[in-house]
């Protein structure tokens, strides 16, 4: 049997060879953390390479994602479907081994990492999901949800503010099955970090309520093993294991230096590494005994089989719970969902109410929440303003994790990245809320949800200058433009309680990407709709008001401005100018409709078009064309009552009417 060091050297060799072949990458972290990875993955990780989606597997997140060859090496060596040919194609087009780990490319990659700090935050989300799901489904003698989340992180992750947001909450929630390994090598790309990173990290994590295991030699297997045992023994607190390592371990001339952080070692240095490590094999060559020492397929299959036997007994003892567990892990909606959600939406149309869409959102949650035990909501503070708490909401706490609502605190970025982790974990429909303006703090996590095609639901209220007196610091202007420009992201800005409920329904049903739900502070009038119009809302854009003859003018609007367009159209039609109003609550969804449908809503023959939205104008020119006009914002807002602001910025019925009349 090869020694631990020899097994770890396989990671070092594969990593340096792949980076060298690609002529780019980060060999230092994989070479420095190889010994930690060897102990964790051969002695402690509970996983099955033949079934990467086994529900009760341990999760592993490489937060310092630039060290991706560490993860690819582990997956290849332990028996996942990641052949050596893919490692040889590291960083190449269409390979399963991109420069940073990307969810959905290679089996065993639990999340996309690279933007530092988000990996550890995803891991916190996964640990939350494990704790909540376990509290909801575990019963005496039947711990069907019982595993750990492990994450590697470096100095860069700890410097990013998001790590504070997530790790602080992890301590508060007592996530005792979360274990983080800090790669304390003192080096970043710019050199020795002591000039810009002098935190007392152990004390920082102790203040969060973590168990901290300091002074571990990251190249001593016995110390690493003892630390992991100690971490697993404390189930009341998350654990940080502080591992002192040498970046680029084994490189005679570059180890311990920034030279090996983000660049290939070079052919000459690699030959020296082979001698230093006593690794006399050709590039990408792994001897049979090393493969055998790493192979986790047999052990993993046995672990999964043991769990399957436990779950079979669980099914006998708790058949309904077992059925619900399977449904949720398969991300299937309840059988009653389609009928009951449609029934609720019809009832709203039949019973008009003029309310703020944030209130309509809460009403929708009260209707949909009892149907969906998988809902796991939250808010970055502001729950009383976002109206994300519904009648069945129960807070998740350290001592009772069986609830369905997370008080994230003022942590917009952390919340959004934790939601990614929860959603990746499975079994939940995660939603989280803040003011639309503060989406800016969370933007990168929202982008990551879109990149990974994860169906998170981001709820954003106080959606325009309609926020009013809080002023321009709180009034979003340009945010929706950037959200609409994000691939895979659906953005809904509904105009009344009906469109709000339909937006929620669409977000809940979506499986291939995230959704933003953008709601008003101020009350809005409900619009009249036929049964066909009610159905067409789900297309993202539809004819809300039509003229008696072919339209000469088309008014397009969303959210709080739809009623302005309707009022302006009434005046124009009364004057003999045939005018159509198109409500477009989700431009992203409308753009995916057939050419025939889009033509039926926005006929090319009608070139006189006006879009109105109390936000930046840029989105709308692709719909109104160069001959059309947009009534919207060109500046930041001001502090004043909402009504005064709409008048001041000339976003009114009269303005829409005058602009439409003036089109040539």
Query: In sequence order, which ranges of 330-381 are alpha helices (DSSP H)?
Result: 337-350, 357-368
Alpha-carbon distance 316 to 142, whole Å? 11
Q: Tens digits of per-residue pLDDT, 609-625?
A: 999 999 999 999 999 99
Tally Cβ neighbours within 10 Å of residue 98: 20
Selection from 483, 461, 486, 492 nearest residue 474 by Cα: 461
Q: Would the pLDDT of 1 be above 90?
A: no
**What pLDDT sits at residue 223?**
98
* Full DSSP string of 236-253: SS-EEEEEE--TTTT-TT
3-state secondary structure of 422: helix
- Residue 664's pLDDT band, with cuts at 50, 70 and 90, is confident
3-state secondary structure of 86: helix
Selection from 522, 471, 493, 476 nearest residue 584 by Cα: 493
- Average pLDDT value for residue range 225-234: 98
Alpha-carbon distance 636 to 260, whole Å? 46
Alpha-carbon distance 131 to 418, whole Å? 14
Alpha-carbon distance 505 to 496, whole Å? 14
- Average pLDDT value for residue range 68-75: 98
The question of whether 412 is a catalytic residue gets the answer yes
Alpha-carbon distance 553 to 263, whole Å? 59
> What is the Rg, in whole angstroms, of the alpha carbon atoms belonging to the chain?
28
Task: Using CA atoms of 78, 80, 82, 87 in order, give the dihedral in degrees to the nearest 10.
Answer: -20
**What pLDDT sits at residue 606?**
97
Give 457's strand partners. 431, 515
Task: Determine which one of 412, 561, 567, 613 is catalytic.
Answer: 412
Share of the chain above pLDDT 70, in %: 100
- Average pLDDT value for residue range 290-302: 98
Q: Would the pLDDT of 12 be above 90?
A: yes
Residues 6+ apart with CB under 8 A from 569: 545, 553, 555, 579, 580, 581
Alpha-carbon distance 126 to 59, whole Å? 8
Give kind and range of the element (H or E) at residue 221.
helix 221-233
User: Are the C-beta atoms of 562 and 581 separated by less than 8 Å?
Assistant: yes
- Average pLDDT value for residue range 456-472: 96
Selection from 176, 239, 248, 243 nearest residue 216 by Cα: 243
Give 356's strand partners. 523
Alpha-carbon distance 496 to 525, whole Å? 7
The DSSP secondary-structure symbol of 66 reads G
Alpha-carbon distance 651 to 480, whole Å? 17
Alpha-carbon distance 371 to 333, whole Å? 9
> What does pLDDT average to over the chain?
98
Q: Tens digits of per-residue pLDDT, 537-582?
A: 999 999 999 999 999 999 999 999 999 999 999 999 999 999 999 9
Q: Tens digits of per-residue pLDDT, 634-651?
A: 999 999 999 999 999 999
Contacts 24+ apart (CB under 8 A), 40-45: 40/150, 40/181, 40/224, 40/228, 41/74, 41/78, 41/294, 41/296, 42/7, 42/293, 42/294, 42/296, 43/225, 43/228, 44/148, 44/150, 44/228, 44/232, 45/150, 45/296
For 368-499, list the strands marked E by DSSP.
375-379, 405-407, 429-435, 457-461, 490-492
| Paired sense of beta strands 355-356 and 523-524, if any | antiparallel
**What pLDDT sits at residue 210?**
98
Alpha-carbon distance 562 to 582, whole Å? 8
């Amino acid at each position: 049997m090869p020694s631990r060091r020899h097994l770890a050297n396989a990671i070092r060799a594969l990593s340096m060879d792949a980076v060298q072949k690609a002529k780019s990458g980060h060999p230092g972290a994989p070479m420095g953390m190889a010994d930690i990875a060897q102990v964790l993955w051969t002695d402690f990780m509970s996983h099955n390479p033949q079934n990467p989606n086994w529900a009760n597997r341990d999760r592993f997140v490489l937060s310092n994602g630039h060290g991706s060859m560490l993860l690819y090496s582990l997956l290849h060596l332990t028996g996942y479907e990641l052949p050596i040919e893919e490692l040889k194609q590291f960083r190449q087009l269409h390979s399963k081994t991109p420069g940073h780990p990307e969810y959905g490319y290679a089996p065993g990659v639990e999340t996309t990492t690279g933007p530092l700090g988000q990996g550890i935050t995803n891991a916190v989300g996964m640990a939350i999901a494990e704790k909540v799901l376990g509290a909801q489904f575990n019963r005496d003698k039947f711990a069907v949800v019982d595993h750990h989340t492990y994450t590697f992180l470096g100095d860069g992750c700890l410097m990013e503010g998001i790590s504070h947001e997530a790790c602080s909450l992890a301590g508060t929630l007592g996530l005792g099955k979360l274990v983080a390994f800090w790669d304390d090598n003192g080096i970043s790309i710019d050199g020795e970090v002591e000039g810009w990173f002098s935190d007392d990290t152990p004390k920082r994590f102790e203040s969060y309520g973590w168990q901290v295991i300091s002074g571990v030699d990251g190249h001593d297997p016995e110390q690493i093993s003892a630390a992991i045992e100690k971490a697993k023994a404390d189930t009341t607190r998350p654990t940080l294991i502080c591992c002192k390592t040498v970046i680029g371990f084994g490189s005679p001339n570059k180890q311990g230096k920034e030279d090996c952080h983000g660049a290939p070692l070079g052919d000459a240095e690699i030959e020296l590494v082979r001698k230093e490590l006593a690794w006399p094999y050709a590039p990408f060559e792994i001897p049979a005994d090393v493969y055998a020492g790493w192979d986790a397929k047999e052990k993993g299959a046995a672990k999964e089989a043991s769990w399957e036997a436990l779950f079979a007994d669980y099914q006998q003892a708790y058949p309904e719970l077992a059925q619900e567990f399977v449904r949720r892990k398969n991300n299937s909606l309840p059988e009653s969902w389609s009928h009951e959600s449609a029934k609720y939406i019809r009832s709203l149309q039949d019973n008009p109410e003029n309310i703020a869409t944030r209130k309509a959102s809460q009403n929708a949650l009260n209707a949909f929440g009892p149907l969906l035990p998988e809902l796991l909501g939250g808010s970055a503070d502001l729950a009383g303003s976002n109206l994300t708490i519904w009648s069945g909401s129960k807070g998740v706490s350290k001592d009772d994790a069986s609830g369905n609502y997370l008080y994230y605190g003022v942590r917009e970025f952390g919340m959004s990245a934790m939601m990614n982790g929860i959603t990746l974990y499975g079994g939940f429909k995660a939603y989280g809320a803040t003011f639309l303006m503060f989406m800016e703090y969370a933007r990168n996590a929202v982008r990551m949800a879109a990149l990974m095609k994860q169906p998170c639901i981001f709820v954003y209220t106080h959606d325009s200058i309609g926020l009013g007196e809080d002023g321009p610091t709180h009034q979003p202007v340009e945010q929706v433009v950037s959200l609409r420009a994000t691939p895979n992201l659906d953005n809904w800005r509904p105009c009344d309680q009906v469109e709000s409920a339909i937006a929620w329904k669409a977000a809940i049903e979506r499986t291939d990407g995230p959704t933003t739900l953008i709601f008003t502070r101020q009350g809005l009038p409900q619009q009249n709709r036929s049964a066909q119009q009610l159905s067409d809302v789900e297309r993202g854009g539809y004819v809300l008001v039509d003229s008696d003859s072919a339209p000469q003018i088309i008014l397009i609007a969303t959210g709080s401005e739809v009623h302005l367009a309707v009022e302006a159209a009434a005046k124009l039609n009364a004057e003999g100018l045939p005018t159509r109003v198109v409500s477009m609550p989700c431009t992203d969804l409308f753009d995916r409709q057939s050419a025939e449908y889009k033509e039926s809503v926005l006929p090319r023959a009608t070139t006189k078009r006006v879009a109105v939205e109390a936000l930046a104008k840029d989105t709308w020119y692709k719909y109104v064309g160069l001959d059309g006009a947009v009534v919207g914002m060109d500046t930041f807002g001001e502090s004043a009552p909402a009504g005064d602001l709409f008048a001041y910025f000339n976003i009114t019925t009269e303005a829409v009417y005058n602009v439409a009349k003036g089109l040539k």
